Structure 1
């Protein structure tokens, strides 16, 4: 997979979860779930591109969460 920059969405193929790239820590890429939550580490070789429909769903989830914040 080509490198995805910070802020891009990817799938962790180990568990199928979508995450937004927040940075790198050592050999791992750090991912935050759409809508917030704990950042998790993922080895770069486990990253996959997100299909368009799932990407749209992730972005909507984030926007909805942002609308609920004070």
Structure 2
């Protein structure tokens, strides 16, 4: 567990673990899972493999912005054979 005094994030970064964020370098939206080794780890909102991003490339997204990928994933799953 990272304590406040050991927080590796730049002070200007306002993206907390568990929040939804956009990786502007990859144009992907995901949930912030961890900060490790100077990188942020994000996971796609619909699940899947995490990816590492530079904290400078990550910005918070609004609730309405985060709903788009969730709806797209739900639509994709609804068309899969059961």
Normalising TM by the smaller chain, what interval?
A: 0.7 to 0.9
Deviation at 1:9, TM superposition (A): 0.5
Deviation at 1:33, TM superposition (A): 0.4
Q: Structure 2: which 5+ residue stretches go unaligned? A: 1-11, 78-82
Structure possessing the higher radius of gyration over alpha carbons: 2
Report how many aligned residue pairs link the two structures: 65
TM-score calculated relative to the size of structure 1 = 0.73
Q: Structure 1: which 5+ residue stretches go unaligned? A: 66-70
- Cα RMSD (Å) of the superposition? 2.3
Q: Whole-Å Cα distance in 2 between the matches of residues 54 and 18 of structure 1?
A: 9
TM-score calculated relative to the size of structure 2 = 0.64
